[in-house]
Amino acid sequence: MTYKMTVPQIKEAIREKLSHSFGVSLENATYEEYYKAVVLIVRELLTKGRTEFIDNAEKTGTKQVYYLCMEFLLGRSLRNNLYNLGLEDSFKKALAEYDIKLDNLYEQEPDAGLGNGGLGRLAACFLDGLATQGYPAMGYSLRYEYGIFRQKLVDGWQTELPDFWLPGGSVWLQQVPENSVEVRFDGHIEEQWHEQYHSVRHRDYTSVTAIPYDLCVAGMDGKGISLLRIWKAENNKFDMNLFNGGSYMRAMEQQAMAEVITKVLYPEDNHTDGKMLRLSQQYFLVSASIQDIIRRHLFAHSTLDDLPKLAAIHLNDTHPVLAIPEMMRVMLDECGYGWEDAWNIVRQTVAYTNHTVMSEALECWSIDLFKMRLPRIYQIVEEIDRRFWEEMRWKGVEESKIYRMAPIGDGYVKMANLAVIGSHSVNGVSALHSEILKEDVFHDFYMEEPQKFTNVTNGIAHRRWLNQSNPKLSGLITDLIGSEYIYDAGKLSGLLRYKDDEAVLEQLQQIKRFNKVRLADYIKKTQNDRVDPDSIFDVQVKRLHEYKRQHMNALNILATYQWLRENPNADFTPHTFFFGAKAAPGYYFAKQIIQFIAALAEKIRKDDRVNKKLKVVFVENYCVTWAELLTPAAEISEQISLAGTEASGTSNMKFMINGAVTLGTLDGANVEIHEAVGDENIILFGMTASQVEELKRSGYSPRLHYQNNQVIHRAMDELLTGFDGQKFKDIFNALLNEDRYMALADFESYAEAQRRAQKLYLDQKSWNRMSLVNTACAGRFAADRAIREYAGNIWHASPVPPVQNLSARTLEK
Ligand SMILES: *Cc1c(COP(=O)(O)O)cnc(C)c1O
């Protein structure tokens, strides 16, 4: 289908929408109404395109990809869809004739924050990569009424405000009540045998209705369109079982509980705390989604036997792993399958991606809680466990090893074990991370089934993170090497031809300067703070976590500040350090680190001896829209996690493609960034993952660094004396006594890397060359490449064949 609309057609469509949907004239409509009118027009195009795309997929028997994830961190959608459909210019012109700026309409859209950080953003980037390359795909998630909280600093202390995104966001959503499904919780199970038939009845359950809301995501040119289906929990008003059974009060309570399930996104990143509501959310997502996937399949096919041929179900992290027992439940209890056949189908259909090696993020559910809330699912997990033991014993595996691998143990259901046992593929998200999974976290499993373990390094939607958020740079690239890189990011390597072209390098510098001014203006407007666009822009934006070591960055800034105030006339290139980070609301230490950064920023801002040269900005409420402004303006990308802790990182990729130089450790995908750009185009420091392991084995003493290193000593002491009455004793003690992520061990090397960066920056021409090489080598970190690897190696899926072939084939019939 074609998405072409002429300027007069667009003008008329807007007029019509304003009048029919909002009852306002062109003259009286608000920006918000214009925004919504434009979204409604785009939405209709997308729905049509999606229908045609899926019809073709079904006619050609193309495998469907179902991506289950508790989080999709979409950010804004309007610019993305207009850009991908090739309609941005026409809409800009049409609106201009009504005296409306398209950019102002973009600003009307809330940032859809249905995720915490990298994991959720990855899922969103993958919808783009799937659509652009023509894989028929659906994402499944929850329609949280409140997304990730809005962060507000009060005297440097993070406070959380609710993010009610629906007023501006729901215009993208199409409710599909006819596809609602029922999800059952609580109650008890009655089993019966009628001759050889086993039947199961779930009694006294709480019934919750899952109502789907659909949102389309256009791929480039709109040939493929992904669908994100998010479920809302509602009371099942028609279920009178409990009332009739006489449990009036319990019925009322449970009905009230139902809608709580999709009320709010859990704001913890890389952490779980075993709450009943969280378990309910997870089961609600997978039960509704699995029922929907099976319904869709049985609509066109008479059996589930061919499900593995026609559907791939992907579990993004352990959060949706109950999809495995849920699929078993539907096949056993509702479709009449026997265990063996059902289990084979499940295992051939499901694949799992691990996202972390942090022990506090490995999900476990207490058996008592699990059994009470999900009695039938617990029975099935028990049976998976029983059969697993049987099989492993038969294979001669030793008992202690089976115990470590089993899905049930120590009073818990272990979600990662269940994930590995119930799927045909397990992957990590960077080469290093996938190695660590094999050697450490899943070593026992790896020894049993090595072929199950693979790697797919993460990737980003480069059309969003380069073309849309940095139009000046993408314009220059298109002038130099043509526009093929938009479809095939590997083509960016064509830029390498210009790495000694002074005119090109000069243009790169001007574009960076433009983006720095754009950011500075925005910060002036939103936070009333001044930043100098001629200083180095050095950026660390990501969730706040001790392992990501924002405190190491801040401690080095403090040491630099101490040195500068004693040497105010020293030769020091002006340097602005940007931070943006949300802390989980209950993560006290992380909040103290934010407070420390904010206090340090204030102290330096007020110190006239140094404030022309040194500046710290804490960007409040870091989110996708902030990221889109910050990445094009960055010159140094801080990727400084302790080696062996960050699974991949994706902000490292966003910065790289925008020409920032990575200052980082050999952790996650930084290892592959280093491989791509070579030693001279990255600033590395710190221990490697194996050196970290070695140091852990031999015993790490942070106190020795405090005692023996003057710079560390002095900076840490100022944490104790504090500034402006604020002291940071907890941070001091944590560093001195434990320092779990070895910030002190890497400190000296980090400080030296910072000095190296300063020196490199002085030679602007060679810095610009580094910047060019980074952009040129970023192609392999495109989401398109990651999707091709998933499709080829894990899903065994192919794109929908081109429509021309299809019509030819249809004619033959
Ligand atoms: C890309 C992105 C992240 C991930 O950042 P990492 O540095 O890889 O942890 C987190 N939050 C937002 C808003 C992002 O856009």
Contact residues for 191 (Cβ-Cβ < 8 A; gap 6+): 198, 199, 200, 201
Nearest to 258 by CA among 322, 186, 338: 186
Which band of pLDDT confidence, cut at 50, 70 and 90, is reported for residue 810?
very low
* Catalytic one of 79, 654, 769, 780: 654
Contact 323, 68 (CB under 8 A): yes
User: What pLDDT band is residue 351 in, cutting at 50, 70 and 90?
Assistant: very high
**pLDDT band, very low/low/confident/very high, at 237 (cuts 50, 70, 90):** low
Per-residue pLDDT at 265 exceeds 70: yes
Q: H helices of 666-742, where? A: 670-677, 689-698, 702-708, 710-721, 729-733
From the candidates 548, 705, 769, 780, give the one annotated as an active-site residue: 548
- What is the CA(410)–ligand 1 centre distance, in A? 34
pLDDT value of residue 301: 95
Residue 179 alpha carbon to ligand 1 centre in Å: 33
Position 269 pLDDT exceeds 60? yes
For the segment 196-215, the average pLDDT, to the nearest whole number, is 92
* pLDDT in the model for residue 23: 97
Rounded to the nearest angstrom, the distance between the alpha carbon of 224 and the centre of ligand 1 is 26
What is the Cα–Cα distance from 176 to 50, expressed in whole angstroms? 15
CA distance 230 to 74: 12
Rounded CA-CA distance 420/354 in Å is 10
CB 345 within 8 A of CB 304: yes
Mutate to test the pocket of ligand 1, among 271, 468, 543 (most ligand atoms within 8 A of CB): 543
Q: How far is the CA of 104 from the centre of ligand 1 (A)?
A: 25
Buried b or exposed e, range 519-545, using 16+ CB within 10 angstroms: bbeebeeeeeeebbbebbbbbbbbbbb
Active-site residue flag, 548: yes
Closest C-alpha to ligand 1, atom 8 = 649
pLDDT digits (tens, 9 = 90+) for 604-626: 999 999 999 999 999 999 999 99
Tell me, yes or no, if 654 is annotated catalytic: yes
Beta-carbon contacts of residue 176 (< 8 Å; ≥ 6 apart): 211, 212, 213, 214
State the distance from the centre of ligand 1 to the C-alpha of 466, rounded, in angstroms: 15
Q: What are the tokens at 635?
A: 């010159």
Q: State in Å, rounded, how far the first CA of the chain is from the last one.
A: 22
Q: Whose CA is nearest to atom 15 of ligand 1?
A: 624
- Provide the 3-class DSSP secondary structure of residue 283: helix
Q: How remote is the CA of residue 784 from the centroid of ligand 1, in Å? A: 18
Structure tokens at 718: 């100022």
Closest CA to 93 of 169, 14, 20, 2: 14
Residue written as token pair 């910065």:
655
**In terms of C-beta density within 10 A (0-12 exposed, 13-18 middle, 19 or more buried), how is residue 247 classed?**
middle
**Token couple for 590:** 């992380």
Which residues are 455's β-sheet partners?
A: 428
Ligand 1 pocket test, pick from 151, 651, 667 with the greatest ligand atom count within 8 Å of Cβ, gives: 651
Residues 7-458+793-812: name the CATH superfamily: Glycogen Phosphorylase B; (3.40.50.2000)
Catalytic residue among 457, 576, 650, 775: 650
Residues in the chain: 813
Whether pLDDT at 242 is above 90: no
3-class secondary structure, 613:
coil
Q: What is the DSSP letter of 304?
A: S
Q: Is 452 a catalytic residue?
A: no
> Is the CB of residue 590 less than 8 Å from the CB of residue 639?
no
Burial of residue 246, with CB atoms counted within 10 A of its CB: 0-12 exposed, 13-18 middle, 19 or more buried = exposed
Atom of ligand 1 nearest to the CA of 622: 13
Ligand 1 atom with the shortest distance to the CA of 668 = 8
Q: List Cα–Cα distances, 789 to 55, 217, 620, 782, in angstroms.
A: 25, 21, 36, 11
Q: What is the DSSP letter of 224?
A: S
Other beta carbons within 10 Å of 155: 11
**Among 543, 551, 575, 769, which one carries the catalytic annotation?**
543
Nearest CA to ligand 1 atom 10: 117
Residue 256 pLDDT: 77
For residue 398, CA distances in Å to 389, 392, 393, 618 come to: 10, 8, 7, 53
Phi, psi of 615 (to 5 degrees): -150, 140
How many angstroms separate the alpha carbon of residue 337 from the centre of ligand 1?
Answer: 43
User: In which band, very low, low, confident or very high, does the pLDDT at 252 lie, cut at 50, 70 and 90?
Assistant: confident
Q: Looking at residue 812, what is its pLDDT? A: 41
Over residues 474-502, the mean pLDDT reads 98
Q: 646: CA distance to ligand 1 center in Å?
A: 12
Contact 486, 220 (CB under 8 A): yes
State yes or no: is 491 an active-site residue. no
558, 718 contact by CB (below 8 A): yes
Q: Which residues are within 8 A (CB) of 446 and not within 5 positions of it... i.e. 6 or more apart? A: 437, 438, 439, 452, 453
The C-alpha atoms of residue 640 and residue 746 are separated, in whole angstroms, by 10
**The pLDDT of residue 804 is above 80:** no
Share of the chain above pLDDT 90, in %: 92
**Taking all residues of the chain, what is their mean pLDDT, rounded to a whole number?**
96
Q: State residue 811's pLDDT score.
A: 43
Residue 596 — φ and ψ, nearest 5°?
A: -65, -45
What does residue 581 show for φ and ψ, rounded to 5 degrees? -170, 135
CATH superfamily, domain 512-775, is: Glycogen Phosphorylase B; (3.40.50.2000)
Quickly list H helices, 395-483.
399-405, 415-422, 431-436, 443-448, 462, 471-481
Question: Is 80 exceeded by the pLDDT of residue 731?
Answer: yes
Q: Residue 585 class from Cβ within 10 Å (0-12 exposed, 13-18 middle, 19+ buried)?
A: middle
Atom of ligand 1 nearest to the CA of 646: 9
Q: What pLDDT, on the 0 to 100 scale, is given for residue 195?
A: 81
Among protein residues, the one whose CA lies closest to atom 9 of ligand 1: 542
Q: Which of 542, 621, 646 to mutate to test the pocket of ligand 1 (most atoms within 8 A of CB)?
A: 542
**What burial class does residue 368 get, using C-beta atoms within 10 Å of its C-beta: 0-12 exposed, 13-18 middle, 19+ buried?**
exposed
What is the tens place of the pLDDT at every residue in 53-105? Answer: 999 999 999 999 999 999 999 999 999 999 999 999 999 999 999 999 999 99
For 387, phi then psi, to 5°, come to: -70, -35
SS3 of residue 126 by DSSP: helix
Residue 518, burial from CB neighbour count under 10 angstroms (0-12, 13-18, 19+): middle
160: which strand partners?
Answer: 151
- Rounded to whole angstroms, what are the CA distances from 175 to 53, 108, 228? 20, 22, 12
pLDDT digits (tens, 9 = 90+) for 121-178: 999 999 999 999 999 999 999 999 999 999 999 999 999 999 999 999 999 999 999 9
Closest ligand 1 atom number to CA of residue 626: 13
Distance CA 66, CA 137 (A): 6
In the predicted structure, residue 239 carries a pLDDT above the cut 60: no
Residue 500 CA to ligand 1 center (angstroms) comes to: 32
pLDDT at 362: 84
Residue-by-residue DSSP string for 496-526:
GGGTT-HHHHHHHHHHHHHHHHHHHHHHHHH
Q: Is 703 left (phi over 0), alpha (psi -120 to 50) or beta?
A: alpha
Q: What is the pLDDT of residues 690-726, one digit of tens each?
A: 999 999 999 999 999 999 999 999 999 999 999 989 9
Average pLDDT over residues 746-764: 98
* Mutation choice for ligand 1 from 541, 646, 654, 781, CB with most ligand atoms inside 8 A: 541
Say what the pLDDT of residue 235 is: 86
Query: Does the pTM of the predicted model rise above 0.95?
Result: yes
All CATH 3.40.50.2000 domain ranges of the chain, comma separated, are 7-458+793-812, 512-775
Instruction: Answer for the pair 409, 222: CB distance below 8 angstroms, yes or no.
Output: no
Per-residue pLDDT at 575: 98
Write out residues with Cβ below 6 Å of ligand 1: 117-118, 121, 542-543, 623-624, 627, 649-651, 654
> Average pLDDT for residues 566-587, to the nearest whole number?
97
Q: Do residues 307 and 297 make contact, with C-beta atoms less than 8 angstroms apart?
A: yes
Q: What atom of ligand 1 comes closest to residue 649's alpha carbon?
A: 8
